[in-house]
Every structure is written in C-alpha cells, then in structure tokens.
Chains A and B, each alone.
Chain A
Amino acid sequence: MKLNRSAMLRPMLGGLGLILLFGGWEAAIRFGLVPFGLLPAPSSLGPAWLDELHNGAWLQAIRDSLTHYLTGLVIGSVTGAVMGLLCGAVPVLDALLSGVVRVLRPIPGLAWVPFAILWFGLNTAGATFVIAISVFWINFYAAYGAVHAIDPDLYEVAASFGHGGFWARMRTVVIPGSAPGLLAGLRTGLGQAWMSVVAAELFGVPGIGARMMQASSLLATDLVVVYMLTMALLYALTDMLFMMVRRRLMGWQG
C-alpha cells in the first residue's frame, strides 16, 4: 500500500514489469525452455518490424485498420449513444424497443460476419459494420444507464425554470447529466472496437487483422507478435487522447 503513495513509483514499476516480461521471455527462449517455433524471441521482433516497415505493409495495415476502426467507432458510438439516450428519456420508446433489445443484444458482433459479407462484401463497409455493431451496444447501455442515474428532481428544476419541453429537457438535463456515463461508454468502446477490428478483418478485409492471418499461415510468429504490439500501441494512443479530452470536458466531476 505504501508503494501507491508515490506518484512516480507506479509507472516505474509498470515499466519494470514489462522489462521482466520481455526479459524472462527472451531468457526462456535462449535457454531452450520453450520448444523451437512456438514463440518468437523478443529480439527478433525488431528486425521483423523493420522489414515490415520498409516494404510498406506495416503503415498500410495501420492505415486500413484505422479507417475501419474510426468509421465503425463513430457510427456505432453515435447511434448507440443516441438510441440509449432516447430510450432512457422516453419511456414509451423504451417499452417499445425492450423486446427488440432483448433479442438482438446477446448476438456478438462476430456473428454478423456472414451478413456483413452478404450485404457489404469483403470490403471496408463490411468490416465497419461488424465493428459498429459491437460498439453500438456498449454505448447504448452506457447512455441508457446514465440517463437513469440522473437525479429525477432535476427535471422538475428544469421545468420550473422554463425548460419543460422535450428538447429543453434533453439539452438542460439529459445530455449534460449523462455525460459521465456516455464518456465511460465511449472509452470502453474504444477498446472493444480494436478487438473487433481483428475479428472484422480476419475474414479477408485488408488491415492489421488480415495481415496477422497471413503471417500466421506462414508461421511468421514474430510478425504476429509485431501486429499484436501494434494494436496495443494504437489502443494506448487512442485511450490517452480520449482521456485528455475527457479531463477538459468533465471538470465538474473533479
């Protein structure tokens, strides 16, 4: 518990953990503790990455995946958040859609792949669709829950100060009041969308996922790990950017 007190110690220990992981991993391979071919050595990752960078595949894969990621994320987040807000704020709509939600909710994004191929083909739109669906539900429930967590008395406050109509209520209470929950959902979606990127691309749409499949079919495990780490890096970057924006928006939460 004492360790937590030092703000500097925590990231340092985090770095140490990573060094131990990769060092132990390298050592295990050097000392022959892992059968040959099961795992690439960390020291082989650098050269593999440089090759991939020089032939242009790395940047191309990132560009393709980022396109799927961002469009799927935006479409899924916006539609999910809007539907969640509306269902949370309009009881009739909530009741009307409750059955539909119950039927569709348990279906994972990956299960939609056959339809994604059928409707959109093996292209960006198909991959975007799969990503958007998985992000949709996260944002839907985050928004829905956030609306229900708002102090109901605030609607009366808004109404008594001239903001009684539907849109006035949305503007003065529902949207600002559910902002913390919405942002939490968005953040979860940021991570979930990266996971869906691989799933969406595994069936052949060019991008990081497709490149990983190609590499694994050639038993180029070092390249698979390079792309795993690439995704981790991209996720860390998007999450960091998001948290910077969040801090600006949510000063009132302290």
Chain B
Amino acid sequence: MTDHAADVVVRLDGIGLSHDRGRSFILRHVDLEIRRGEFVALLGPSGVGKSTLLRVIMGLVPPSEGQVILQSPATTAHRPTAMVFQDAKLMPWRSVVRNVELGLEGLGLDAARRRARAMAALELVGLADMADRWPRQLSGGQRQRVGVARALTVEPDLLLMDEPFGALDAITRNALQLELLRIHERTHATVLFVTHDLEEALTLADRIIVLEGHPAGVRGDFLVGPRPRDHAAPPMRAMAERMKLLIAGEEDPGVVAAYWQASEI
C-alpha cells in the first residue's frame, strides 16, 4: 500500500474517541487510508462505533486522539464530505428538489445553477419527475434515493453512507444496492459505506474494513475480487468465514493491517 500520496482521499491517523476524558475509549488507534474511487465497506457488529467513526470523519464529532486528514482540492463548488443517513432524514418542509439543494446552498452558486445540479442528481437516481413532491408523498426507497441525490450533488471527495438501506425491505434494498453500484460506476465517487451486513458488504464493496472490539479498531482489511461476484465461490466463502470470525471477535486481532485478496486465499 505504498501508492502515490495524492491518491489518498482520506487518512485516519491514530483516531481515538472517548466521552469521559480518556477513562474509556469507544474508538482507539484507528488507522485507515481510502484512495480515490474506492468503494469501501466499514463492517462491524451493531453498536461498535461505525457510525461514530463516520461522524468523526465528517467533522461532526471531534476525535479525542489522532487526526483526520482529508484531501480536498479547492477547485469547483463542492463539499469535502457528504453523508447519506440511515432514514434518509429529508426535511419534510422542503420539496424533493429543495431537499437536494440543501448542501448546494452556501457554495456560492446562483439559484439556477443550484436547481440544475440538483435536477441532474435527481436524474441520476431516477427521480427527476418527483422533484416537486413533498417527502411525505414518497416511499421509503424513494426517500432514500433523494438522500443519495442530496449527497451526490455536492460532488463530495468522500461519500459517507451510514447503513443507508438498513431500514428498507429486502426487495427495495436489493434494487438500491444495484443502483448504487451503477451510480458508482458512472461517478467514480469515493465511498465509505457502513453496514453490519456481510452480504451487503460483499455485494457492494471493493474493499471491506472490519471494525470490532472495545474500544473498536480496524481488525481486518480485505480486498474483494472483481465483479461479477459469486458469493458461493470457495475463495469468497473463505473470506466471508474469516470476516465472520473477526466480527464476532473470535479471531486473533493480530491480523490488523493484513491485506487479504480473495484470489490469494
């Protein structure tokens, strides 16, 4: 992993987080690098601190130790990070397109440019014809697509997704996963996707980071093979088994910083 430094979008350097001035830690010694265009899944059991780590990366929660270094070229009107939340969290008093415009306000764009960019993002998620609806008029899956559009339209260097499909039914969830992959192929966005679902991580990600422990830290870092993927193929199965052990905390955490390639197992 000695790639060119310019390729790294975000680097976490010994991140630690404590809510009681260092007596106990939620996160500790978290080191991580994500490179441009990567689709990374952050996998771990519920409540381990995955969402908290996203908030640290976003700057919503200041870390107690270490630092987050975000490479954000100061070129176009964009934001360094954007988040897709678990329940979409649209503002009910804004129309769909005005919800998408939320992150564009304050970027120095005039109203027409904002509208054009928001509409382009809605087009991308297939909801351009819903632009003037109110959030309450949309289904759960549609609301979450608006949440994705709202994040994409600010062209973030790093797109953070906090279990975005966790609250959806299986069919909608599957459709949105495929759609997210299609969008990723088109936009080459750098994605950090939090999930506690191993299958979801294997479907979506190029790389899977396992977060586990008290305090939580990176317990495994896996590169998943090329698509299309056969989850039943022996190398994938072996990798999945290994991840399951790590998530359950039964594997020796000595594998930190070990890189696993599906083809190598």
Contact = CB atoms under 8 A, between A and B. Distances in A.
B58 interface: yes
Contact of B102 (A153, A163, A177, A252): A163
A173 B92 CA distance: 10
B245 to A, nearest CB: 34
Interface stretch (A84-92, A112-120, A154-162, A217-225): A154-162
Contacts of A160: 58, 60, 81-83
A254 interface: yes
Contact of A161 (B92, B135, B150): B150
* B: contact size bracket: 20 to 34
B102 A158 contact: yes
Interface string A147-173: 000010110111111110000100011
Given A159-B60, A160-B60, A161-B102, A252 B81 contact: no
Given A160-B60, A161-B154, A252-B136, A154 B89 contact: yes
A252 B97 CA distance: 13
Contacts of B107: 162
Contact of B60 (A156, A168, A173): A156
A157 B55 CA distance: 11
Contacts of B25: none
B93 A177 contact: yes
A157 B60 contact: no
Interface in B181-208: none
A162 B107 CA distance: 9
A158 B105 CA distance: 11
A161 B103 contact: yes
Interface residues of A, number: 21
Contact of B91 (A162, A173, A253): A173
B89 A177 contact: no
Given A160-B81, A161-B79, A154 B103 contact: no
Given A162-B105, A163-B106, A252-B136, A177 B83 contact: no
B260 interface: no
Given A157-B91, A163-B106, A172-B105, 12 more contacts: A151-B89, A153-B85, A154-B89, A157-B85, A157-B89, A159-B60, A160-B58, A160-B60, A161-B150, A173-B91, A253-B92, A254-B134
Top 9 nearest A-B pairs (CB, nearest first) are: A161-B103, A176-B93, A252-B134, A160-B83, A252-B93, A157-B89, A161-B102, A162-B106, A153-B89
Interface of A: 151, 153-154, 156-163, 168, 172-173, 176-177, 179, 251-254
Interface of B: 55, 58, 60, 79, 81-83, 85, 87, 89, 91-95, 102-103, 105-107, 134-137, 150, 154
12 contacts: A156-B55, A160-B60, A161-B79, A161-B103, A172-B102, A173-B91, A176-B93, A177-B91, A252-B93, A252-B95, A252-B134, A254-B134
